[in-house]
Amino acid sequence: MSNVRRFTLSNLKKYTSYIVAVQAATKIGLGPVGSNRTWQTKEDIPAKGPVITSIFAESSTSFRIAWKGLSDGNANGAIIGYRVCYKLVETSVNICNSVGNILHTTLFNLEKYTSYAVAVQAATKIGFGPLGAKVTKRTKED
């Protein structure tokens, strides 16, 4: 028998509660199970970006966008807000707007009859995760 007083649990999921109990063992057998203790692993940034569920050109200069919140397995913590990033399809410069902890927004002051790539990021208190899949949409003509 070894005299182990410390043990490291590895490969645990982020922002997940675990119940741990200790039981001593001797050559004679097992002792009683100790009291359960609950620990929670730390938060991290989200593992994935939100999925856009709808994008609608409201006018020649605006889009209405909605997205799905992240599952607990991908959130890696308490989601505190979202950021919508968009760009002209022909450029590489993203414009990002933080929108709070809501699942929809409207983008205004877009160029008329122009294609945009739009994606959403979620954030925990640790920071923003990756962008979700980009969706391309064109604003309306006048």
pLDDT band for 6, please (50, 70, 90 cuts).
confident
> Percent of the chain having pLDDT more than 90?
85
**What CATH number does domain 51-138 carry, 1.20.20.10, 3.40.50.720, 2.60.40.10, 3.30.499.10?**
2.60.40.10
CA distances 36 to 7, 18, 39, 43, Å, are 16, 10, 10, 22
Report which secondary-structure segment, H or E, holds 87: strand 81-88
Q: What is the pLDDT of residues 19-78, one digit of tens each?
A: 999 888 888 999 999 899 999 999 999 999 999 999 999 999 999 999 999 998 999 999
Rounded to whole angstroms, the Cα distance separating 60 from 91 reads: 20
> Percent of the chain having pLDDT more than 70?
99
pLDDT band for 1, please (50, 70, 90 cuts).
low
Domain boundaries, the chain: 51-138
- The answer, yes or no, to whether residue 2 has pLDDT greater than 90, is no
Of 138, 140, 122, 142, whose CA–CA distance to 88 is shortest?
A: 138
Between 22 and 130, the higher pLDDT residue: 130
